[in-house]
């Protein structure tokens, strides 16, 4: 297994280019199943989660070519409407092929994803949405078996705004007869990107980005040449890196409004930054203040930036409070940050961070993707060397993180353990 060795205390500076969004690429790749024509996807990031989705698409029957930073997805010879346990267990987002296969083939057999480190993460809302479209769902030996003769248009009302649920049901609904309306839908930019991609293939979807999405059913989707949005979570992570360890860091090729909630809290904390079109210039070195944060669905503060922000707040003056409302077990970085000298206490879903003057390097363990990122950020400013084990979590969602950080002047080495 790989680990990172980070020599802390170096000022970072320069420009970092943000890659394509992981959480937009995964549903968009699943949605390529909805057409038999070729699809060209530009700006797809090279990440282990994307490779897992490509493996799953090949298993189902697509052929994939890579050309520079584009993926070309073509229809293969055979179709196999199944997502086996081995692929789903390594990545929950594999369950997104369910909606696409129901839409295109009217049947699917997909392994139940089960829980994961950050929480139980049920998919009851996905299934409820499919059932509203007339799909019969059975659970057999750990698999979701779905079948439908004709997808009917209907009103789907989600009990909670779910990103994956909205995406999954949207993919099945594009072919529904009479059209469908999704209410209390997730408003995340990745949902909007999926809707834009589907529309580029001939779907008729409006309202994505609001709580009500309207789908006018169509008979067929054609191929597309589409560019995926930049990764707002990666952008926020490098922005926080600049605030903690800059120098002046230019975060380039992002959509700043996608991280407005993060920028608002950073501003409240005293971070020095300016926004220019698709770039943010952030300057470190300021004394930061403690702030209060509650994670919320978009456009609120993203749960996927909670751990990185906590890392920044470990050295802010005074007390910060972070309430995690989305996932019940997303504070696994706390003990590791405390091992590095932070002073954080957790009570249920609330973390209370008492600012300390400095962090110290220590051997720590990555537990999930965003927790790993928070440890890397802490390592950049800690005194001495930080060793982060189980970096494979980080490789799921950050493209060449050590290269990008080293190009900014950090010292991050990947070693084999
Ligand atoms: N929920 C239900 N029932 C459902 C679906 C969700 O109760 O059927 C609950 C969840 O338990 C959670 C809340 O609804 O409490 C929101 O979950 P959501 O379905 O929105 O999350 P997701 O689709 O499983 C995506 C991202 C996550 C990100 C969340 C929240 C992808 C592939 N994953 O997950 O990203 O944290 O939305 O924004 O898009 C990450 O990138 O590190 C990551 C975990």
Q: What is the pLDDT of residues 181-191, one digit of tens each?
A: 999 999 999 99
Could you give the CA distance from residue 120 to residue 113 in angstroms, rounded to a whole number? 10
Query: Which atom of ligand 1 has the smallest separation from the CA of 368?
Result: 42
Residues 282 and 349 in one domain: yes
Residues 6+ apart with CB under 8 A from 65: 71, 72, 74
Closest to 197 (Cα-Cα) out of 399, 20, 65: 20
Task: Go through 378-407 and write b for each residue having 16 or more CB atoms within 10 A of its CB, e for each that does not.
Answer: bbbbbeebbbbbbbebbbbbbbebbebbee
Q: Are strands 180-183 and 212-216 parallel, antiparallel or unpaired?
A: antiparallel
- HSE on the CB side for 178, CA within 13 Å? 8
Could you give the CA distance from residue 84 to residue 387 in angstroms, rounded to a whole number? 35
Could you give the CA distance from residue 410 to residue 246 in angstroms, rounded to a whole number? 10
Give the residue-averaged pLDDT of 152-164. Answer: 96
Could you give the CA distance from residue 259 to residue 253 in angstroms, rounded to a whole number? 13
pLDDT tens digits along 189-240: 999 999 999 999 999 999 999 999 999 999 999 999 999 999 999 999 999 9
Residues 308 and 297 in one domain: yes
Residues 220 and 249 in one domain: no
Identify the pLDDT of residue 412.
98
**What separation in angstroms does the CA of 400 have from each of 48, 114, 271, 407?**
11, 29, 26, 11
Residues 105 and 204 in one domain: yes
Residues 193 and 95 in one domain: yes
Give the residue-averaged pLDDT of 4-12. Answer: 98
Residues 115 and 205 in one domain: yes
Identify the pLDDT of residue 196.
98
- CA triple 170-159-298, angle to 5 deg: 70
CB contact at 8 A, 379 and 6: yes
- Ligand 1 centroid–CA 24 distance in Å is 13
Residues 133 and 6 in one domain: no
Angle between helix axes 22-31 and 232-245 (nearest 10 degrees) is: 170
Residues 343 and 290 in one domain: yes
Candidate of 112, 137, 160, 193 to mutate for ligand 1, largest count of ligand atoms within 8 Å of Cβ: 160
Band the pLDDT of 69: cuts 50, 70, 90. confident
Identify the pLDDT of residue 191.
98
Which CATH number fits the domain that encloses residue 394? 3.65.10.10
> What residues are annotated to the active site?
116
List phi, psi (to 5°) of 152: -100, 145
Residue 126 Cβ contacting ligand 1 at under 6 Å: yes
Structural domain boundaries enclosing 163: 22-227
Smallest CA separation from ligand 1 atom 25, residue:
163
Residues 212 and 278 in one domain: no
């Amino acid at each position: 297994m790989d680990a990172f060795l980070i020599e802390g205390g170096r000022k970072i500076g320069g420009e970092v280019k943000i890659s394509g969004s992981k959480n937009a690429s995964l549903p968009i790749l699943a949605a390529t199943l909805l057409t038999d024509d070729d699809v060209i996807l530009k700006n797809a990031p090279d990440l282990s989660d994307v490779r897992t989705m490509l493996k799953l698409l090949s298993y189902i029957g697509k052929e994939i070519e890579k050309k520079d930073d584009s993926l070309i997805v073509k229809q293969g010879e055979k179709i196999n409407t199944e997502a086996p346990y081995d692929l789903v267990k390594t990545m929950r987002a594999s369950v997104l092929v369910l909606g696409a296969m129901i839409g295109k083939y009217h049947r699917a057999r997909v392994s139940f994803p089960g829980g994961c480190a950050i929480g139980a993460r049920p998919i009851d809302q996905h299934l409820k949405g499919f059932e509203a479209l007339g799909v019969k769902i059975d659970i057999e030996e750990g698999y979701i078996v779905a079948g439908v003769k004709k997808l009917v248009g209907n009103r789907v009302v989600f009990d909670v705004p779910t990103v994956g649920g909205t995406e999954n049901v949207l993919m099945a609904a594009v072919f529904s007869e009479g059209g469908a309306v999704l209410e209390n839908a997730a408003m995340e930019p990745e949902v909007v990107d999926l809707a834009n991609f589907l529309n580029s293939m001939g779907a008729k979807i409006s309202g994505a980005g609001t709580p009500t999405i309207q789908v006018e059913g169509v008979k067929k989707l054609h191929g597309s040449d589409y560019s995926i949005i930049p990764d707002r979570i990666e952008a926020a992570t490098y922005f926080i890196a600049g605030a903690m360890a800059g120098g002046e860091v230019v975060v380039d090729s992002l959509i700043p409004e996608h991280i407005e909630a993060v920028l608002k809290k950073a501003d409240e904390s005293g971070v020095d930054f300016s926004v220019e079109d698709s770039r943010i210039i952030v300057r470190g070195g300021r004394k930061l203040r403690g702030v209060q944060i509650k994670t919320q669905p978009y456009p609120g503060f993203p749960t996927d930036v909670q751990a990185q922000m906590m890392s920044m707040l470990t050295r802010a003056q005074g007390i910060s409070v972070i309430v995690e409302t989305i996932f019940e077990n997303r504070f696994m970085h706390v003990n590791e940050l405390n091992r590095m000298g932070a002073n954080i206490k957790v009570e249920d879903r609330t973390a209370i961070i008492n600012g300390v003057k400095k962090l110290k390097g220590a051997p720590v363990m990555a537990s999930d993707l965003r927790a790993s990122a928070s440890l890397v950020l802490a390592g950049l400013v800690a005194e001495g060397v930080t060793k982060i084990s189980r970096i494979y979590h980080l490789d799921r969602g950050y493209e060449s993180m050590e290269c990008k950080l080293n190009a900014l002047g950090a010292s991050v080495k990947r070693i084999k353990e």
